Amino acid sequence: MDKRGTHMEQDAIASLMAFMVETPRLTVLTGAGISTASGIPDYRDDQGDWKRSPPMQHQVFMVSHAARQRYWARALVGFRTLNQAQPNAAHHALARLERQGSVAGIITQNVDGLHQRAGSRRVIDLHGRADVVRCMGCGATRPRQDLHDELGALNPQWLALGAHAAPDGDADLERDFSDFRVPACAGCSEGVWKPDVVFFGDSVPRHTVEEAFALLDESSGLLVVGSSLMVYSGYRFARRAARAGQPLACLNLGRTRADELFAVKVSASAEEGLAALAERLDVAPGAAAAP
């Protein structure tokens, strides 16, 4: 038995492979669990409970200058991990499965852009992208690294600080943030810079939801990878697929909000399961062919 077989039961791989063969051109919904092997921490444990304090709330960020000081000071340290992360075997496997024709597209709850960097072509960033910031006053955008360069120039004493990385470019850093300088938008003079992502308490843009629903509706089923689906913005796609009679499968370590909906559920890491799946489907008779 090869090394991969010692970690994941072969019948589990086979059940997921059979699902993929019988349900060609799936939509894949991914969550934080697909990026942990790239060094990006996740929010929840294998029971779907918070490992840490819940992340920044949209309304708090918008109304509190102190909250923004804390957010951007921690991000100046923590974003390095997110910015330097590389796609892992799971991201590459999904890109391979898309080229094979087994995957129609990806809806991701992640904001790291790793699916695109791995070569996936049809990716819907449900919660936006962390590498872009947007002025909440005039709507202007700029690369996030440009803002970090400005933050570093305004707060050079913070550049030497280190801390453990936290999810989505945050860092486990606690100190007095009151002297941290946060610039306003130069274009409109007073607009608040915010990562172009959906914070907790905010809503996914309607056009993004509609694009994701369209992808799901044209697919034959749904595969959930690395997500507990505890957040409704992801869970809604499992509900929609189930209501439409589409088969659902899941590759995830731990329980999810939609466990009762899955025809197949495999408990394994995303990179281990998807790499094995892509390899087997690549040689399987009758596997889907790329269009």
Neighbours of 285 (CB within 10 A): 5
Q: Count Cβ neighbours within 10 Å for each residue of 211-227 and write b for 16 or more, e otherwise.
A: ebbebbeebebbbbbbb
Contact 223, 105 (CB under 8 A): no
Instruction: Give whole-number Cα distances, 282 to 21, 96, 149, in Å.
Output: 11, 9, 44
Alpha-carbon distance of 90 to 271, in angstroms, equals: 4
Residue written as token pair 């305004």: 154
Q: Give the 3-state secondary structure of residue 283.
A: helix
Return the structure tokens found at 250. 């899941």
Alpha-carbon distance of 58 to 285, in angstroms, equals: 49
Residue written as token pair 């943030």: 177
Alpha-carbon distance of 47 to 11, in angstroms, equals: 24
- Which residues are known catalytic residues? 127
Q: Strands of 26-30's sheet, edge to edge?
A: 123-125, 103-108, 26-30, 222-225, 248-251, 264-266
Alpha-carbon distance of 275 to 176, in angstroms, equals: 45
Cα-Cα end-to-end distance for the chain = 34
